[in-house]
């Protein structure tokens, strides 16, 4: 346990100590809790620094999510992944997947997709109709996760981030129909 970590809670608000799994098990059974922050914590900043290229981190090309809904996935008590959802400044009733990252040890286990689905569901709960995001054009893993979760590329009227290297994505918050 680290001082910056709030207790892990289930939807009912009870502790997830039993369901969190044993650290290091494969696949890890992850306990997730939602943390609504008014600014990124130092711990999340350190995970961001570990997940992204130094030039993205140091040049300010990453979103500066000051507020939003944050999710942190844990393998036992060890943080494994994080994600943020915030209201879009582009249009009403739209959420923006501000950023997400999976630490190296836990990559390839579907955590990014789980966090995308969690954020889309939360956007629906908030009454938002659409969710948008962007990726850097060489981040194939994130693009595959977004496509698998129903996102499609689009060209916004006003580009943001790093327009020369960005791919923009959108999807409705309506549940997808299974075929």
**pLDDT (0 to 100) of residue 108:** 87
**pLDDT (0 to 100) of residue 27:** 53
Q: How confident is residue 2, by pLDDT bands cut at 50, 70 and 90? A: very low
**71: which strand partners?**
34, 83
Residue 126 pLDDT more than 50?
yes
What are 22-28's contacts with CB under 8 Å, separation 24+? 22/76, 23/75, 23/76, 23/77, 23/78, 24/75, 24/76, 25/75, 27/109, 28/75, 28/76, 28/80, 28/106, 28/109
Average pLDDT over residues 34-56: 59
Q: What are phi and psi of 136, to 5 degrees?
A: -80, 145
Q: How confident is residue 178, by pLDDT bands cut at 50, 70 and 90? A: low
DSSP string across 115-128: HHHHHHHHHHHTT-
**pLDDT (0 to 100) of residue 75:** 79
pLDDT over 70 for what percent of the chain?
61
**pLDDT (0 to 100) of residue 29:** 54
Helix, strand, coil share (%) of the chain residues, nearest 5: 25, 30, 45
67 burial via Cβ count (<10 Å: 0-12, 13-18, 19+): middle
Residues 18-52 as b or e (16 or more Cβ within 10 Å = b): eebbeeeeeebebbbbebeeeebeeebeebbeebb
Biggest distance spanned by C-alpha atoms of the chain: 48
Q: pLDDT tens across 66-125, in order? A: 578 888 887 777 778 888 899 999 889 999 998 888 888 888 888 999 999 999 999 999
């Amino acid at each position: 346990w680290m001082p910056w970590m709030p207790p892990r809670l289930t939807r009912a608000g009870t502790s997830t100590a039993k369901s969190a799994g044993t650290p290091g098990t494969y696949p890890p059974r992850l306990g997730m809790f939602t943390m609504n922050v008014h600014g990124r914590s130092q711990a999340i900043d350190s995970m961001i620094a570990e997940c992204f290229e130094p030039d993205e981190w140091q040049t300010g090309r990453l979103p500066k999510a000051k507020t939003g809904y944050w999710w942190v996935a844990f393998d036992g008590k060890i943080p494994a992944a994080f994600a943020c959802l915030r209201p879009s400044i582009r249009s009403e009733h739209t959420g923006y997947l501000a950023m997400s990252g999976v630490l190296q040890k836990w990559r390839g286990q579907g955590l990014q997709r789980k966090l995308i689905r969690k954020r889309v569901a939360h956007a629906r709960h908030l009454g938002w109709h659409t969710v948008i995001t962007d990726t850097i054009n060489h981040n194939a893993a994130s693009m595959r996760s977004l496509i698998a979760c129903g996102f499609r590329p689009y060209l916004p009227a006003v580009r943001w981030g790093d327009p020369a290297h960005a791919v923009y994505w959108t999807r409705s918050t309506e549940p997808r129909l299974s075929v």
